A and B are shown apart, each in its own frame.
Chain A
Amino acid sequence: DVKVTQSSRYLVKRTGEKVFLECVQDMDHENMFWYRQDPGLGLRLIYFSYDVKMKEKGDIPEGYSVSREKKERFSLILESASTNQTSMYLCASSFAGVRGNTGELFFGEGSRLTVL
């Protein structure tokens, strides 16, 4: 079975701290994604990567950066955490799919971040 593993299920950080969220997938997927999910707003794409060292901004990249040094690992970085970044963060991966379209996404269990 495909497995997407997120490093922490729950984190509590203070405003201004640097936060790393790690994600590892074991199916040799090309694509990896970071979403955040908030009540009433749904899933919103922060960043995605379609290859090692490649990254693309999603809909809400401000305040975040990413790193993909190895194919199986995609990290989300909050350089200086703020209270409005309190959220559920979901990592996902997929094969490139037909005609470059994204195939089905495999999600991790999520990381619930609270910024105080």
Chain B
Amino acid sequence: SQKIEQNSEALNIQEGKTATLTCNYTNYSPAYLQWYRQDPGRGPVFLLLIRENEKEKRKERLKVTFDTTLKQSLFHITASQPADSATYLCALGGAGSYQLTFGKGTKLSVIP
């Protein structure tokens, strides 16, 4: 069965450093991958989408990579700030599919 793993449940990082979150998957050939941010008690908010034929996407301090050979996506936040503290979710979608399958998320804490 399909499996999505986000590297750790929690990640602590010092302010100003680059945070790197990992999303690995097995038994799946996604056509695209999305990353979301979720604050406590709120719904997730979309951040970035990357397609299978794209290696890298950037948006301001965010960068996402997608390696279909390694079956892995990396999500980077450069110059991290305490306001970046949240849970980050990856989600995978198949070609022509309406469904997204979510990972369980990584809770990032940026320490001042």
Contact of A101 among B32, B44, B45, B46 (CB under 8 A): B32
Query: How far does the Cβ of B55 sit from chain A's closest Cβ, in whole Å?
Result: 18
Shortest beta-carbon distance, B40 to chain A, in Å?
A: 11
B100 CB contacts on chain A under 8 angstroms: 45, 102, 105
Contact of A31 (CB < 8 Å), options: B32, B96, B98:
B98
* Cα separation A48 to B103 with both chains bound (whole Å): 18
Smallest CB gap from B31: residue in A = A101
For B46, the chain A residues whose CB sits under 8 A away are: 104-106
Within 8 A of A (CB), among B35-88: 36, 41-46, 49
B42:A109 contact, CB within 8 angstroms: yes
Q: Which of A40, A43, A56, A102 contacts B93 (CB 8 A)?
A: A102
Contact of A40 among B41, B42, B101, B104 (CB under 8 A): B104
Q: How many residues of B contact A (CB 8 A)?
A: 26
Please report which residues of chain A, range 16-35, place their CB below 8 angstroms from some CB of chain B when the two chains form the complex.
31, 35
Distance A4 CA – B45 CA, assembled complex (angstroms): 12
How many Å lie between the Cα of A42 and that of B99 in the bound state? 15
User: Given A40-B104, A101-B31, A110–B42 Cβ distance below 8 Å?
Assistant: yes
Q: Decide: B99 and A102 in contact? CB cutoff 8 A.
A: yes
| Shortest Cβ gap from A49 to chain B (Å) | 9
Cα distance, A102 to B31, chains bound together (Å) = 10
Query: Can you list 14 A-B pairs, Cβ within 8 angstroms, ordered by A?
Result: A4-B43, A40-B104, A42-B102, A44-B102, A45-B99, A56-B98, A90-B43, A90-B44, A100-B95, A101-B96, A105-B34, A105-B100, A109-B42, A109-B43
